[in-house]
Amino acid sequence: MKKKILEIKDLKVSFSLNNKKGNAVDGLNLDVYEDEILGLVGESGSGKSVTAYSVLGLISEPPGKIESGKIIYNGTDLLKLSFEELRKFRGSEIAMIFQEPGSALNPVMTVESQLAEVFNAREKTDGKEIYEKSVELLSQVGIPDAGKRIKEYPGSLSGGMQQRVMIAMALAGNPSLLIADEPTTSLDVTVQAAILDLMLKLKEQNKISSIVLITHNLGVVAGTCGSVAVMYGGKIQESSSTKEIFLYPLHPYTKLLLESVPVFGKQRGDDLKSIPGSVYGIYDNPPGCKFYGRCPAQKKECGVTEPPLKEIKEGHFVRCFLYE
């Protein structure tokens, strides 16, 4: 049995706007084990980013609020920590990279000084040492000519290079867990392939223990992750190993999601299955299963009570009344 590195228990995060209040994350349970890449899959509005932000204490309050739950990292409940204590966890234990590397980097600071800032926040070391460490890190993340590139400003780097710099900054604190929020969405396919390759390599080389890869792209998950959790309506709907999810999906949402994306080399010219309707906003909160309105296999009870997340096979959890 592998060790749990991160355990999210019954997390509820609400957002309020114009006197309306809704749960973006609504009773989420998620375990991240050591030495794995977990894919957190969901459409926009499913609450996947909010989950990630909650782990790092980045939910701005107001309008957001963590209502209840526990986020246990290696035995410490992160939600009980003070701001200052949490700050020490960020970067050194858990690091995060974002969708838009261009806007996550400061445009008026060189790569070198931004990296130096990360090092300085950890320990006071002398400038020469930091410089050498930085260059080493940049070459590790596959930036050619790192000694020269380190002097440049983010604006003169391409999107792919910027994301590599972000990864280098994330690695600078030597964290065990990396949360990547749609890290390749804004990048070209060839660059995306290279970044995903890099993340796999970093894990193989034990530079990082676990990665949570948040994405909407099932293709990215299939090629990279060992296990998958599918989110919808602020909840995990199904989770299992990648093999299980792609070969034997159980939840109607997962099934439809897999059938609605064109698979390269298959289904040429055929109509795709599509999910009727669209995700509703977090402020209208119907009772029952979150997918009820769009589900082709809906039963009466689905609209009344919400099914629990159940382990159907070993390690395969599903939240649906079809499996009881």
Partner 1 sequence: MSNILEINRLYVSYPSGRSGIFSRGSITAADDFSLELEEGCSLGLAGESGSGKSTIARAAGNLLKFNNPGVRISGNIVLKVNGEVYDYARLNREERAKLRSYVQFIFQDPSGSLNPRFNIGEIIQEPLKHLTSLGKSERKNKVIDLLELTGLGEEIYYRFPHELSGGQKQRAGIARALAAGPKILIADEPLSSLDVSVQAQIINLFRKLKNELNLTLLFVSHDLSVIENLCTDVAVMYLGKILERGKCGKVFSNPGHPYTKALISSVPVPAFSENKRERILLSGDIPSTLTRPQGCVFAGRCPEASDECLKTVPPLEVKENGREVACIKRL
Partner 2 sequence: MKLKSREIKNTTFRRRWNKFKNLKRGYYSFILLAALYLFSFVLPVFIGRDALLVRYNGQYYVPLFKHYSAETFGQKLFGEANYRLLKIKFSEEGGNNYVLMPLYPYGPNENLLDETRGTPPHPPSFSHWLGTDDRARDVLARLAYGFNISISFSLVIAMLSFLIGTAAGAVLGYFGGKTDAFGQRVIEIWSTLPLLFIIMILSSVLRPDFFILCVIMTLFSWTGITYYVRGEVYREKGKDYALAAFSSGANGSSIIFRHIIPNSLTPVISFAPFAVVANIMSLVSLDFLGFGLPPPTPSWGEMINQGMGNLHYWWLSVFPLAAQFLTLLMVVFIGEAVRDALDPREYNRTVRK
| Sites of contact with partner 2 (CB under 8 A) | 15-18, 24, 44-46, 48-50, 53, 60, 63-64
Measured from the CB atom, the residue of 48 and 316 that comes closer to partner 2 is 48
User: Residue 254: which of 318, 168, 170 has the closest Cα?
Assistant: 318
The answer to whether residue 270 forms part of the interface with partner 1 (CB under 8 A) is: yes
The long-range contacts involving 61-66, CB below 8 angstroms and separated by at least 24 positions, are: 62/16, 63/15, 63/16, 63/17, 64/13, 64/14, 64/15, 64/24, 65/13, 65/14, 65/15, 65/16, 66/11, 66/12, 66/13
Q: Quick one: how far is CA 315 from the chain centroid?
A: 20
Report the distance separating Cα 163 and Cα 154, nearest Å. 10
Measured from the CB atom, the residue of 198 and 218 that comes closer to partner 2 is 218
Shortest Cβ 278–partner 1 spacing (Å): 4
What DSSP assignment string belongs to 269-307? TPPPP--SS-PPPTTS--SS-TTGGG-TT--GGGGTSPP
Rg (CA), the chain: 21
- Pull the structure tokens for residue 163: 């994301």
Residue window 148-187: x/- pattern of binding to partner 1, with contact defined by CB under 8 A: ----------x-xx--------------------------
Measured from the CB atom, the residue of 61 and 271 that comes closer to partner 2 is 61
State which of positions 239-258 bind partner 1 (CB under 8 A): 242-243, 245-247, 256-258
Measured from the CB atom, the residue of 17 and 263 that comes closer to partner 1 is 263
Shortest Cβ 50–partner 2 spacing (Å): 6
Shortest Cβ 21–partner 2 spacing (Å): 10
Report the distance separating Cα 215 and Cα 15, nearest Å. 22
Residues facing 11 on adjacent strands: 28
The answer to whether residue 279 forms part of the interface with partner 1 (CB under 8 A) is: yes
The answer to whether residue 223 forms part of the interface with partner 1 (CB under 8 A) is: yes
Q: How many residues sit in the footprint of partner 1 (CB under 8 A)?
A: 49
Residues that bind partner 1 (CB under 8 A): 43-44, 144, 158, 160-161, 188-194, 196-197, 216-223, 242-243, 245-247, 256-258, 260-275, 278-279
